Amino acid sequence: MILVGQYDSPNVRRVAVSLGVLGFAFDHDTRSVFGDFDSMRTVNPLGRIPSLILADGTTLIDSAAILDWLDQEVGPERALLPSGGAGRQRALQLIALASGVIDKVMASAYERLVRPEPYRWPDWIARCRTQAEGGIAALAAQSWPADAPLDQASITTTCMIRYIGQADPALLPSGRYPSLEVLSQRCEAHQAFRATWPADYVVPSKGHQSTRGC
Ligand SMILES: N[C@@H](CCC(=O)N[C@@H](CS)C(=O)NCC(=O)O)C(=O)O
């Protein structure tokens, strides 16, 4: 199978980490969502990442849908999201918070970096960053036991932390959220995370000429 998208995308990275944790072999297509936009649209009509191209040629899009497919493939014993009960409910809430933060940080980054300066809307940027701060604080208030196995909530949250560190580091000043720093250090030490460490973030400010930046 082939994972399409670069690892500076937290949505691509959470899929790549999950593939690694679950033991799936895959090739990595590093086409750029900005620099290779027309080509990317032949993979996913939305021109977005991630996509996962399966051995039979089927293309799955959207990280949540891809992760659901992975969990179905390995079955409930190994799935990264509990199949039911309070554990599933809690995990889905944590993932919703982390994914929501990613969406808001990305929205504000695109507004700051992609939109031409005269058209930028500071109030919108401030609103997105306030929403992101709310989600980060809510995640930091959760319990992240040190001995917990890697699951989708910890994977997605750790990918969120790394993405913020690259795209808007002022949202995560050192020392403000110790629980998230501990979680990130623990997870980033795992081989599946190390194998997907994103290259230095390149802001997508060069728009469609940029070959990196998500
Ligand atoms: N809901 C989608 C969101 C994917 C997404 O936001 N992808 C970003 C990169 S992380 C992207 O493709 N950005 C370019 C664009 O939307 O034009 C998912 O979880 O896969």
Burial class (CB in 10 A: 0-12, 13-18, 19+), 5: buried
Q: Whose CA is nearest to atom 2 of ligand 1?
A: 62
Would you say residue 210 has pLDDT above 70? no
Q: What is the pLDDT of residue 208?
A: 46
Q: Whose CA is nearest to atom 7 of ligand 1?
A: 49
Whether 142 and 43 share a structural domain: no
Q: What is the mean pLDDT of residues 47-55?
A: 98
DSSP 58-114: -EEESHHHHHHHHHHHH-TTT-SS-SSHHHHHHHHHHHHHHHHHHHHHHHHHHHHHT
Q: What angle do CA 5, 73, 152 make, to 5 degrees?
A: 60
Pocket test for ligand 1, best of 38, 49, 52, 196 (most atoms within 8 A of CB): 49
Q: What is the CATH number of the domain that holds 6?
A: 3.40.30.10
Whether 126 and 182 share a structural domain: yes
Which amino acid is located at 110 in the chain? Y
Q: Whose CA is nearest to atom 10 of ligand 1?
A: 9
Whether 131 and 54 share a structural domain: no
pLDDT tens by residue, 54-95: 999 999 999 999 999 999 999 999 999 999 999 999 999 999
Asked if residue 34 is part of any domain, the answer here is yes
pLDDT band with cut points at 50, 70 and 90 for residue 214:
confident
pLDDT tens by residue, 135-144: 999 999 999 9
Whether 107 and 28 share a structural domain: no
Distance CA 135, CA 142 (A): 11
Chain mean pLDDT for the chain: 94
Q: What angle do CA 184, 186, 189 make, to 5 degrees?
A: 100
Measured from the CA of 64, which atom of ligand 1 is nearest? Answer: 19
User: Is the CB of residue 33 less than 8 Å from the CB of residue 40?
Assistant: yes
Q: Which residues of 120-130 are buried (b: 16+ CB within 10 A; e: fewer)?
A: eeeeebeebbe
Would you say residue 155 has pLDDT above 60? yes
Whether 115 and 189 share a structural domain: yes
Q: Which pTM was predicted? A: 0.95
Whether 93 and 62 share a structural domain: no
pLDDT tens by residue, 6-37: 999 999 999 999 999 999 999 999 999 999 99
DSSP state of 4: E
Q: What is the pLDDT of residue 133?
A: 98
Choose the final residue of a domain: 34, 63, 79: 79
Name the domain count of the chain: 2
CA of 146 to the centre of ligand 1 (A): 30
Whether 141 and 116 share a structural domain: yes
Peptide bond into 169 cis (omega under 30): no
Q: Which residue has the tokens 């051995």?
A: 55
Whether 122 and 184 share a structural domain: yes
Q: What is the pLDDT of residue 204?
A: 63
Q: Which domain holds residue 56?
A: 2-79
Which amino acid is located at 45 in the chain? P
pLDDT band with cut points at 50, 70 and 90 for residue 112:
very high
Q: What is the pLDDT of residue 22?
A: 98
* Percent of the chain predicted with pLDDT > 90: 91
CA of 102 to the centre of ligand 1 (A): 10
Would you say residue 177 has pLDDT above 50? yes
Cβ < 6 Å from ligand 1: which residues?
9-11, 33, 47-50, 62-64, 106, 214
Whether 107 and 164 share a structural domain: yes
Q: What angle do CA 48, 53, 58 make, to 5 degrees?
A: 105
Would you say residue 3 has pLDDT above 80? yes
Would you say residue 213 has pLDDT above 90? no
End-to-end alpha carbon distance in the chain:
22
Choose the final residue of a domain: 11, 44, 79: 79
Would you say residue 206 has pLDDT above 50? no
Sign of CA dihedral 193, 157, 206, 44: positive
Distance CA 154, CA 74 (A): 19
Measured from the CA of 34, which atom of ligand 1 is nearest? Answer: 14
Q: Whose CA is nearest to atom 15 of ligand 1?
A: 48
Q: What is the pLDDT of residue 198?
A: 85
